[in-house]
Structure 1
Amino acid sequence: MNPGPASHAAAPDDGDARRLGGNRAKWWFMFDVIVAGCGPTGAMLAAELRLHDVRVLVVEKEPEPTSSFVRVVSLHIRSIELMAMRGLLDRLLERGRQRPVGGIFAAIPKPAPQGLDSAYDYLLGIPQPVIDQVLGAHAVDLGAQVRRGSAVVGFEQDDEGVTVELADGDQVRARYLVGCDGARSTVRKLLGVGFPGEPSRNDTLMGEMAAGAPPEEIAAKVAEIQQSARSFSFGPFGEGIYRVVVPAAGVSEDRAEPPTLEDFAQGLRAIAGTDFGVHSPRWLSRFGDATRLVERYRVGRVLLAGDAAHIHPPAGGQGLNLGVQDAVNLGWKLAGQVRGWAPEALLDSYHDERHPVAADVLDNTRAQVALSSAEPGARAVRGLLSELMDIDAVNRHLIEKITALGVRYDLGAGPDLLGRRLRDIDLGRGTLYDRLRRGRGLVLDRTGELAVGGWSDRVDLIADPAAALDAPAILLRPDGYVAWVGEHQRDLDEQLTRWFGEPATPSPGSPSH
């Protein structure tokens, strides 16, 4: 169902939707999309929508942004590429730390394979609040409205839109609602969509704190323990602070309840025989190994993204990356639906493409957790896999899986490029990713004979016969994935229609649509 283009005229200017028209009620929409949650996924989605002039309200239950003392996360290669595509990478590089991509699958210490297919073949370690700040500011700079201290507590959807009830009693109305509100998503629960998988069976504590024991004593003890306990770490984090990861004594009944310093001390004494004199915690958290994936990413006018759609152990550090990549896949498709040009099946392709990707992430985290067990069988399999990873193709396959370089969407039969992301390449002026900053489609043509005609309001054309491209021409979607490879205008027009709807005017030299 395509609701047609959004009406911007005569809408109320106070941020609320109004019902007008007596018995034949009609909704005037102040917002096209309401996004629940202003974490990385929600902020990135809001920014992607604003690139297409979609009116966005982001509601966030937390009254203030996250504290500065929060865990460092890693942006993986594909996420770094997306940041480069949207002109955000320099801001993140200033406040992050680059490191090699080796050793990220089940923490098996192997170097990164040579010649990864990316201009950004590194991990970027960065405090999550920095990512939150940069992506949140990006969304606001593009015109998204953010309402903090405002939790979603209910909603009703109909054929025209979604009415959202907030905790303070206000109601807002939009054409679509997207739940980016985390692992305990209210939107997902109210939607009633199935969330099958496995509950948490083991909790792990993670935090940053000071320690009173001498550093050399800590290092020796930690090295001894890590020979068998892969789920334990106690590493220096600068300025006398240690990053601590230790198994918890049990599974928490209240997932929202943070652990205490004494919980860490007890866990350390159980595994190391000493608590290393830990004190002065900067932050403390817990995570479980629950693994779940929603049955549907879309139910009518309500969609899910990020941790609201999938949860899994943090093995390989994939969670935040998976959510940001969800947002970039969804943003242009939902924008096309709102603006009225999207083909009938485009929005449903969000589920079709991202659900299998998340399922693969869940499976590889299950495998990594199993490989971290101290049981003899798991240790034997880990040793065998470590040997296999000395084979470059095996190591490369696992690295590409974790960093999302290996994602290929099923877009039908065709060349190997089809359905894959394309690395950044130099063009006559700037780079390929520089030309994707507006979130539009892009035809990169080496033949000099193609045109985008009536799609020029949605798709750009670069004619560059010298482009380092193993194809005559390609069509790139706004998320950077190759939607077509070829050289004939008729074939290009067919794919432009498939992904970007009907042209505004007939394409030169092509049949009338």
Structure 2
Amino acid sequence: MTAPTQSPDVLVVGAGPTGLTAALAAAQLGLRVRIIDQRLERARYSKALVTHARTMEIFESLGIADDVLAAASQLEALNLRGSFGVHGRIVLDKLDWGDTAYPHWLIIPQYEVENLLEKALTRQQVAVEWGTELTGLQRSASSVTAAVSTQDQPQTITASWIVGADGGHSTVRANIESKFKRAESQAPFILADAYTTAHLPDREAQVSLAPEGFLLLIPLPTHGLWRIVAHLPYQSEDWAEPITPELLDGLIASRARIHFGAHEIAWTSRFSPSYGIASPLRSGRAFLAGDAAHVHSPVGGQGMNFGVHDAHNLIWKLALANKLQPKQAARLLDSYEAERRPVIERMVARVQRITTLVTDSRRAGRRVLGTAAPTLLPHTGARQILGQTMAGLNIAYQHGPLVLGRDKLSGKRAASNISKHQSPGTWYWHTDNHGIQLIRPDGVVAVSGATRREVDTRIRRNSLLKAILDVVEPTR
């Protein structure tokens, strides 16, 4: 346990899904960790709803996958409605899911995920320090010193590393002077969680691509409670009309031809998507992850999931860095940005394209989309995007010093049935019909070859991997 007065190995700023994942992974690897959040308590509302397959594989490695499954509901289908009464249907379990043990979209509010992560963190004897605000940061070659304030009582925390998981307006990002230029979409949306009197399938989402605007209805795990997401193409961003049952019913009836019967509205919000990626993601001993590193539209449910992926890529590297000589440790830590940035850039660009498509400012453009998409989407390459791409299963790290070769395995995630046997922080040798692979602690294939001799030859030519294998012993 790291007491609030102790100097940790890792100071995590922000107790959302990204920060909690980082703290839990660090604690499981034996690092001393503290996690602070300026909020007084956890929020009871949630913009994020979808937990994807790759995230579930990460949660499995953290020991909470079963708990998440028990609290979530599985989305089974997307029902598409477009212009002129055109319909389409995508059955999610028939998508190409590959080898994952979690071939589905799970619907679970973000605060429930946070609650399960925090419970697991508590079992590691680490408590979130709520009401603790980062007010300043000083860095040296060997440590970081954070100035924090708890109930107006200032203190300092000196740590080996700091992870900024403190959201889109990150204080850590500002303190390390990482550049962050937002591109505003000027596409106003409303969100609402409301109960319905309509008899809608509990595990099927309703998607409307109507000329009146994009509409998404997602069933929440609580029976009868639905998330409503609506683009308002005719409103300005400062539109402030109350979000009432009458407003929701009118939008849903005009776009989806559903008599929703909205009542007991639990939560509402307005937003206009913006897009941005921090540069750099690492400055010395400070790292950015989650919304502190990248912001984008919530279309596709990528935000929370990618934040978890950031933490999963980073923390084992921090645990390993202290075992290496400074030059190789620096190369190891540089690999966080080298690997994550290309993946993040592709995701943000893809989400931006899709969001731009469904929020076309021209009514004629929305009409064309609503005519074509419901018919084409169930039968085209979009099925791949909805499956492995959105699920994060085909992410590949082919940049940086920790992946050797450009073959069909190196840099990709190992199959679920392989990586599930890895203990936290371990490297792993795996042999199958493809040959032999060296698998990293995050379940990514570092190098593969037909024979052990071929793989060893490649490793000898890479000073970083060679140095790592001098201090760790891969299991089999």
TM interval, shorter chain, is 0.7 to 0.9
SS at match of 2:160: strand
Task: State whether structure 2 residue 152 is matched by structure 1 residue 167.
Answer: no
Q: In structure 2, what is the equivalent of residue 351 of structure 1?
A: 337
| Aligned residue type for 2:192 | G
Equivalenced residues, count = 441
Task: State whether structure 2 residue 65 is matched by structure 1 residue 78.
Answer: no
Alignment equivalent of 1:281, drawn from 265, 272, 286: 265
In structure 2, the CA distance between the partners of 1:406 and 1:502, relative to structure 1 (3 Å rule), is closer
SS at match of 1:110: strand
Q: Are the equivalent residues in 2 in contact too, given 1:72–1:125 (CA < 8 A)?
A: no
In structure 2, the CA distance between the partners of 1:216 and 1:434, relative to structure 1 (3 Å rule), is closer
Alignment equivalent of 2:12, drawn from 30, 35, 38: 35
Q: In structure 1, what is the equivalent of residue 301 of structure 2?
A: 317
Give the whole-Å Cα distance in 1 for the aligned partners of 2:97 and 2:210: 31
Shift of residue 492, structure 1, vs aligned partner: 6.7
Which structure carries more helix by proportion? 2
Give the whole-Å Cα distance in 2 for the aligned partners of 1:366 and 1:151: 32
Q: In structure 2, what is the equivalent of residue 483 of structure 1?
A: 446
Task: State whether structure 2 residue 123 is matched by structure 1 residue 138.
Answer: no
Q: In structure 2, what is the equivalent of residue 442 of structure 1?
A: 428
Task: State whether structure 2 residue 288 is matched by structure 1 residue 304.
Answer: yes
- What is the CA deviation profile of residues 153-195 of structure 1, one whole-angstrom value per residue up to 9, with x for unaligned ones? 2111122211111123111111111100111211112222111
Q: Are the equivalent residues in 1 in contact too, given 2:248–2:262 (CA < 8 A)?
A: no
| Aligned residue type for 1:479 | D
Q: In structure 2, what is the equivalent of residue 399 of structure 1?
A: 387
| Aligned residue type for 1:320 | M
Q: Are the equivalent residues in 1 in contact too, given 2:249–2:261 (CA < 8 A)?
A: no
Q: In structure 1, what is the equivalent of residue 357 of structure 2?
A: 371
Q: Are the equivalent residues in 1 in contact too, given 2:163–2:289 (CA < 8 A)?
A: yes
Task: State whether structure 2 residue 457 is matched by structure 1 residue 494.
Answer: no
Give the whole-Å Cα distance in 1 for the aligned partners of 2:97 and 2:277: 33
Alignment equivalent of 1:129, drawn from 111, 115, 118: 111
List aligned pairs for 1:90-101, cutoff 5 A. Answer: 90-100=66-76
SS at match of 2:387: helix
In structure 2, the CA distance between the partners of 1:494 and 1:101, relative to structure 1 (3 Å rule), is farther
Q: Are the equivalent residues in 2 in contact too, given 1:180–1:304 (CA < 8 A)?
A: yes
Shift of residue 286, structure 1, vs aligned partner: 2.8
Give the whole-Å Cα distance in 2 for the aligned partners of 1:215 and 1:103: 15
Give the whole-Å Cα distance in 1 for the aligned partners of 2:472 and 2:383: 48
Q: Are the equivalent residues in 2 in contact too, given 1:157–1:301 (CA < 8 A)?
A: yes
What is the TM-score normalised by the length of structure 2?
Answer: 0.81
Q: In structure 2, what is the equivalent of residue 196 of structure 1?
A: 181
Alignment equivalent of 1:418, drawn from 406, 410, 415: 410
In structure 2, the CA distance between the partners of 1:164 and 1:43, relative to structure 1 (3 Å rule), is same
Alignment equivalent of 1:62, drawn from 24, 39, 47: 39
SS at match of 1:336: helix
| Aligned residue type for 1:127 | P
SS at match of 1:409: coil
In structure 2, the CA distance between the partners of 1:279 and 1:500, relative to structure 1 (3 Å rule), is farther
Q: In structure 2, what is the equivalent of residue 429 of structure 1?
A: none
Alignment equivalent of 2:276, drawn from 292, 295, 305: 292
SS at match of 2:108: strand
Q: Are the equivalent residues in 2 in contact too, given 1:441–1:477 (CA < 8 A)?
A: yes
Shift of residue 113, structure 1, vs aligned partner: 2.5
Shift of residue 392, structure 1, vs aligned partner: 5.7
SS at match of 1:151: strand
Q: Are the equivalent residues in 2 in contact too, given 1:205–1:264 (CA < 8 A)?
A: no
| Aligned residue type for 1:345 | R
In structure 2, the CA distance between the partners of 1:216 and 1:330, relative to structure 1 (3 Å rule), is closer
SS at match of 1:63: coil
Shift of residue 371, structure 1, vs aligned partner: 2.2
Task: State whether structure 2 residue 368 is matched by structure 1 residue 380.
Answer: yes
SS at match of 1:303: strand
- What is the CA deviation profile of residues 92-139 of structure 1, one whole-angstrom value per residue up to 9, with x for unaligned ones? 1111112347679x9984334246332221111112222101112223
Alignment equivalent of 1:251, drawn from 229, 237, 244: 237
Q: Are the equivalent residues in 2 in contact too, given 1:56–1:145 (CA < 8 A)?
A: no
| Aligned residue type for 2:38 | K
In structure 2, the CA distance between the partners of 1:472 and 1:239, relative to structure 1 (3 Å rule), is closer
In structure 2, the CA distance between the partners of 1:205 and 1:389, relative to structure 1 (3 Å rule), is closer
Q: In structure 2, what is the equivalent of residue 158 of structure 1?
A: 140
Give the whole-Å Cα distance in 2 for the aligned partners of 1:232 and 1:130: 25
Q: In structure 2, what is the equivalent of residue 460 of structure 1?
A: none
Q: In structure 1, what is the equivalent of residue 313 of structure 2?
A: 329
In structure 2, the CA distance between the partners of 1:189 and 1:50, relative to structure 1 (3 Å rule), is same
Shift of residue 81, structure 1, vs aligned partner: 1.4
Q: Are the equivalent residues in 2 in contact too, given 1:61–1:150 (CA < 8 A)?
A: yes
What is the TM-score normalised by the length of structure 1?
Answer: 0.76
| Aligned residue type for 1:139 | L
**Higher gyration radius (CA):** 1
SS at match of 1:435: coil
Q: In structure 1, what is the equivalent of residue 434 of structure 2?
A: 471
Shift of residue 352, structure 1, vs aligned partner: 0.8
- What percent identity do the matched residue pairs reach? 25
Unaligned runs of 5+ in 2: none
Shift of residue 479, structure 1, vs aligned partner: 0.8
Shift of residue 277, structure 1, vs aligned partner: 7.4
Task: State whether structure 2 residue 25 is matched by structure 1 residue 48.
Answer: yes
Q: Over aligned residue pairs, what C-alpha RMSD do you find?
A: 3.6
Task: State whether structure 2 residue 348 is matched by structure 1 residue 362.
Answer: yes
Q: In structure 2, what is the equivalent of residue 227 of structure 1?
A: 210
| Aligned residue type for 1:51 | Q
Q: Are the equivalent residues in 2 in contact too, given 1:98–1:125 (CA < 8 A)?
A: yes
In structure 2, the CA distance between the partners of 1:270 and 1:90, relative to structure 1 (3 Å rule), is closer
Give the whole-Å Cα distance in 2 for the aligned partners of 1:406 and 1:478: 18
Unaligned runs of 5+ in 1: 1-7, 18-29, 254-258, 426-431, 447-468, 508-513
SS at match of 2:113: helix
In structure 2, the CA distance between the partners of 1:338 and 1:264, relative to structure 1 (3 Å rule), is farther
| Aligned residue type for 2:368 | A
Shift of residue 283, structure 1, vs aligned partner: 2.0
